[in-house]
Every structure is written in structure tokens, then in C-alpha cells.
Amino acid sequence: MTATVPPLTSTVMSSVGEAHAGVASGVNNAVARVAGLFAVAALGAVIFANFSHHLAEAPPAQANEALNAVLAGQSGVTEGATAAFEHALRVALEVAAFCSLLGGIGLWFWIRPIGSQAAR
């Protein structure tokens, strides 16, 4: 995030005139916040679904309790729950990396250098 947000913000802000800078800044900020909310929710769902899948002997309610115990660092967590969490976290990080890669590729083709557009 720290490597991508400043260049994207400056691309957005340089693509509009001074008269629309406030609106562009507000829209950019709102989109970033909403995207962050969706990303956290989606990655949380990926972690829980993967954790539940690898903790196959437990029903969803028990899997939820096991996940909460692992996240809280409680003692008495089974080795299977810890292994399932590690696998689920690895999968969520792979999904995040893949989404970041797709976003980078998409923006590579979408964003044009400043000098390539006709004067406004």
C-alpha cells in the first residue's frame, strides 16, 4: 500500500484542473476507504473459509471458536487448529498478492504519462 498510494494519488490529482482538485481529492479518499473496507472483509472471509475447510471435523460454530482462540493466543489450542490457521493465512496473503499484481498490471495499461494527453 505504501508503495502504490502516493503515485496513484498524484496521478489522480495531476489529471484534474485546480478547480476540481478538492472534488478529486475527496473522491480519491472515499474510494480508497471503501476499497480498504472491501479488502479487509474479503480477506477475512477467505481466512475463515479456508480455516473452516482445513478444520473439517468441526462445524462452523466450533471453527469460529477455534479461530478466535488461535487469534487470541489462548492456551490449549490444538495443533490442527494452528496448522489450519497458518495455511489459511498463507492463502489470504497469496490472494492479496495476486490482487495487487492484477491491479498493478491493470494500472500499467490504464494510466498514461502526463505528456501523452492533449492539453486541457
* pLDDT tens, the chain, 120 aa long: 556 677 778 877 888 888 888 898 898 889 888 988 999 999 999 999 999 888 877 788 888 898 989 989 888 888 888 999 999 999 999 999 998 888 888 878 877 766 655 444
CB distance 70 to 81 below 8 Å: yes
Domain that residue 60 falls in: 5-13+23-112
**DSSP state at residue 119:** P
Helices (H), 15-78: 21-54, 60-72
CB distance 47 to 35 below 8 Å: no
Residue 108 lies in a domain: yes
Residues 6+ apart with CB under 8 A from 55: 63, 66, 80, 81, 84
pLDDT of residue 3: 63
Number of folded domains in the chain? Answer: 1
Residue 117 lies in a domain: no
Residue 77 lies in a domain: yes
